[in-house]
Structure 1
Amino acid sequence: MVLHRMPLGVVFDMDGLLFDTEALYRDAARDAAAEAGRDLPDAVFLSLIGGSAPDNRARLVRHFGAGFAIDAFEAAWMRHYARRSGGEPALKPGVPDLLALLDSLDLRRAIATSSSHETVRRNLAAHGLEGRFEAVVARGDYARGKPAPDPFLLAAERIGVVPEACLVLEDSPHGVRAAAAAGMAVVMVPDLVAACEADRALCEFIAQDLHVVAKAILAAAA
């Protein structure tokens, strides 16, 4: 697991990468679909992971049908998510150690996510991680979401690091493609969606968890 160059900045996805939220979102979406008398297959949910809100809404409308009450479904989805998560999703393995390493190396870092700023603030506060990221780029900050490069390019701009010197950490194919389109190095740390050959071709490597990423950064810094 080797990085081809030492990054000057690190850009993190959030859901499924920093916080163990994707399975909660999946189960909550199933709850909301069942409440509406519908079914949400795994293949449909997995296609949403890492995508932009407008794209995901369009995917759901295609699945459920044009007459489906999508606003009511999305509200029910968030209600079931809040119930399941209790407002405090678990940290993914290796998050504290990786952040401590980036502190020691004085590397700037940002979050670039399809979630809202309020969700980011709530998740960070639940684990005492406020102030550990120099910038947060969230839904509403960019014109085009992942797989477009806009979120990552804005994150690089906000932390003052050129895109080519940034390392992106992602768990989804949409995010991997967005990072590659931004001209950034990317490591995929898969969560619910396994890496395919196309993902592997765009990545520095595929990591089991963030402990592996920390070792690769430490080795690159040596």
Structure 2
Amino acid sequence: MLTNIKAVLFDLDGTLVDSMWLWKSIDIEYLGRYNIELPEKLEDKIEGMSFTETANYFKETFNIPESIEEIKKTWNDMAWDYYVNKVGLKNGIMEFLEYLIKNNITIGIGSSNSIDLVNVVLKKYNMIDYFTTIRTSCEVDRGKPFPDIYLKVAEDLKVKPEECLVFEDIPKGIIAGKDAGMKVCAIYDDYSKSLDDEKRRLADYYIKDYNELLSIFGKVQEA
């Protein structure tokens, strides 16, 4: 998996941390303030969108009176406690980051979340210094499934796309990595477990958690 790989790129939600579950709760509460019921398949429609694209979608679809910036601030405020107190790390991720650093592989993040929430969870777990660059889809023209965010991270890291391995938890993120010309490893997440077959089909690799990789790489080093 890491042969000829110079950089590993991570999504955040559902990939580094277990947090995808919280957004449905926030969507229900937020729309409830306007007496709007959560539509079926809403999560499917906004999957992969940047924070700004999602705010635009809500404003236009549900006729939200707040400005785009006000919507994003409201979501940040609503999600803050979740990320500080209720979001946990994916199993084995800290040890895997240490493994990458020790093997001179640079690490970056390409997230659809807001930079404020990305930073709060990384600081909570003292992870921020592991990453050479941290980018969000709000900084590029198009969110996932377009490859823009991962190409931007690769540019920051000064590596070619074919020298990158991406870890993702949702199909549109996997497509973004593949369309960027990168290898992609899908990771299991409870939120997207119904999409596991699609994730396996789209990705080059699939893992349940990072302990699985550590077990493999540890055996390789011992050999």
TM-score (norm 1): 0.84
Between Structure 1 and Structure 2, which shows a larger proportion of strand residues?
2
- Equivalent in 83, 100, 103 of residue 102 of structure 1: 100
Which residue does 2:206 correspond to in 1?
206
Which residue does 2:43 correspond to in 1?
45
In the alignment, is residue 129 of structure 1 matched against residue 116 of structure 2?
no
- Equivalent in 65, 68, 89 of residue 69 of structure 1: 65
| Other structure's SS at 2:112 match | coil
2:192 partner amino acid: V
Q: What do residues 160-183 of structure 1 show as CA deviations (whole Å, max 9, x unaligned)?
A: 221101100001111101000001
> RCO higher in 1 or 2 (8 Å CA, sep ≥ 6)?
1
TM-aligned CA distance change 1:103 to 1:32, over 3 Å? same
d(CA) in 1 for partners of 2:31, 2:75: 8
Which residue does 2:80 correspond to in 1?
82
| Other structure's SS at 1:115 match | coil
| Other structure's SS at 1:193 match | helix
In the alignment, is residue 193 of structure 1 matched against residue 189 of structure 2?
no
Q: Give 1:187 deviation, angstroms.
A: 0.8
Identity, in percent, stands at 25
CA contact (8 A) 2:164 2:182 kept: yes
Which residue does 2:152 correspond to in 1?
154
Q: Give 1:24 deviation, angstroms.
A: 1.6
Q: What RMSD in Å do the two structures reach over aligned CA positions?
A: 2.7
| Other structure's SS at 1:187 match | strand
Tell me, which stretches of 5 or more residues in structure 2 are unaligned? none
TM-score (norm 2): 0.83
d(CA) in 1 for partners of 2:10, 2:31: 30
d(CA) in 2 for partners of 1:69, 1:161: 43
TM-aligned CA distance change 1:139 to 1:179, over 3 Å? closer
